[in-house]
């Protein structure tokens, strides 16, 4: 009879190990199906070892969201003021692909959206570069914030909407959240920014 492997003692596991394991489990079963007992089995510890650090699942998800916000590069690739339109388009398309390719990141950041103060400050700091580039391109500060905000909302909304529609709508319907509609609305936002910047600067960025 094979000997049963002895579990690790409580206190022998760190917060980082728990979070690493939580991301691994969530990648396999989804955020919704991530549970403390399942995570404990994955980490080969008693469930009380996890409750020692996180009293409930929401606290664990808060910590996972903070880590995701801290590690995810929201502004990569950056915005080039001299070629603002194409670099901003590439930025939005890249952000969309990254969220679609990582359902855990999408669930934590876009759907759940509970951010700690430190992580939120870091995320807000990250948007300073694209906003500054749009101001340099010719927008006012308010217009730059509104333009980048519109693109961010559009990108995040399309990421959340597309998989839901694939589950409920056969084929492609009107207003489908795929690349075709995404690019169409993205171009409309960029067209408005070009109008605000003016013909001389807008044409120079093409």
Q: State the CATH number of the domain containing residue 199.
A: 1.10.357
Query: pLDDT tens digits for 74-105?
Result: 657 889 999 999 999 999 999 999 999 999 99
Mean local confidence (pLDDT), 169-197 = 83
25 and 120, same domain (yes or no): no
Q: What is the pLDDT of residues 3-24, one digit of tens each?
A: 444 555 555 799 999 999 999 9
Same domain, 44 and 129: no
CA distances from 52 to 5, 60, 76, 117 (A): 22, 11, 37, 23
Q: Tell me what pLDDT residue 70 has.
A: 78
Is there a single domain that holds both residue 46 and residue 90? no
For position 2, what pLDDT does the model report?
A: 42
Residue 168 domain-assigned?
A: yes
CA distance 94 to 100: 10
Is 139 inside a domain boundary? yes
Judgement on whether residues 92 and 124 belong to the same structural domain of the protein: yes
Task: Classify residue 45 by its DSSP letter.
Answer: B
The CATH number of the domain where 40 resides is what?
Answer: 1.10.10.60
Please tell me whether residues 84 and 162 are part of one structural domain.
yes
pLDDT confidence bin for 111, thresholds 50/70/90: confident
Q: How many domains does the chain have?
A: 2
pTM passes above 0.85: no
Residue 69 lies in a domain: no
CB 24 within 8 A of CB 104: no
* Full residue range of the structural domain in which residue 29 is found: 15-55
Contact 66, 115 (CB under 8 A): yes
Indicate the residue among 27, 55, 83 that finishes a domain: 55
**Percent of the chain scoring above 70 in pLDDT:** 76
Residue 60 maps to a domain: no
203: pLDDT strictly greater than 60? no
In this structure, are 90 and 125 located in the same domain? Answer: yes
Residues 24 and 81 in one domain: no
Closest by alpha carbon to 44, among 11, 7, 4? 7
Task: Output the pLDDT for position 86.
Answer: 96
Query: 56 or 109: which carries more pLDDT confidence?
Result: 56
- Whole-number average pLDDT of the chain: 84
Residues 47, 102: one domain? no
| In contact, 134 and 148? CB cutoff 8 Å | yes
Shared-domain flag, residues 126 and 96: yes
Do 100 and 27 have their domain in common? no
31 lies in the same domain as 122: no
End-to-end CA distance of the chain: 72
Q: What tens digit of pLDDT does each residue of 24-55 get?
A: 999 999 999 999 999 999 999 999 999 999 99
User: pLDDT: is 81 or 180 the higher one?
Assistant: 81
The answer to the question of residue 61 being in a domain is no
**30 shares its domain with 78:** no
Q: What is the pLDDT of residue 55?
A: 93
Distances (CA, A) of 47 to 11, 96, 154, 205: 12, 36, 40, 57
Q: Is residue 148 in some structural domain?
A: yes
Cβ neighbours, 10 Å, residue 4: 6
The answer to whether residue 159 scores a pLDDT higher than 50 is: yes
């Amino acid at each position: 009879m094979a000997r049963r492997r002895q579990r690790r003692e409580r206190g022998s596991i760190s917060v980082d190990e728990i979070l690493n394991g939580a991301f691994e489990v969530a990648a396999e079963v989804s955020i919704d199906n991530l549970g403390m007992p399942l995570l404990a089995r994955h980490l080969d510890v008693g469930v009380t070892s996890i409750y020692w650090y996180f009293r409930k699942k929401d606290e664990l998800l808060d910590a996972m969201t903070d880590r995701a916000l801290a590690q995810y590069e929201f502004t990569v690739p950056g915005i080039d003021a001299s070629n603002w339109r194409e670099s901003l388009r590439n930025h939005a398309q890249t952000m969309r692909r990254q969220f679609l390719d990582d359902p855990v990141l999408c669930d934590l950041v876009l759907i759940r959206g509970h951010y700690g103060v430190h992580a939120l400050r870091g995320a807000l700091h990250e948007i300073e570069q694209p906003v500054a580039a749009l101001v340099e391109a010719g927008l006012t500060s308010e217009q730059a914030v509104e333009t980048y905000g519109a693109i961010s909302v559009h990108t995040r909304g399309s990421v959340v909407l597309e998989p839901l529609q694939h589950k409920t709508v056969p084929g492609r319907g009107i207003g489908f959240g795929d690349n075709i509609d995404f690019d169409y609305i993205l171009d409309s936002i960029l067209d408005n920014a070009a109008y605000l910047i003016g013909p001389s600067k807008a044409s120079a960025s093409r």
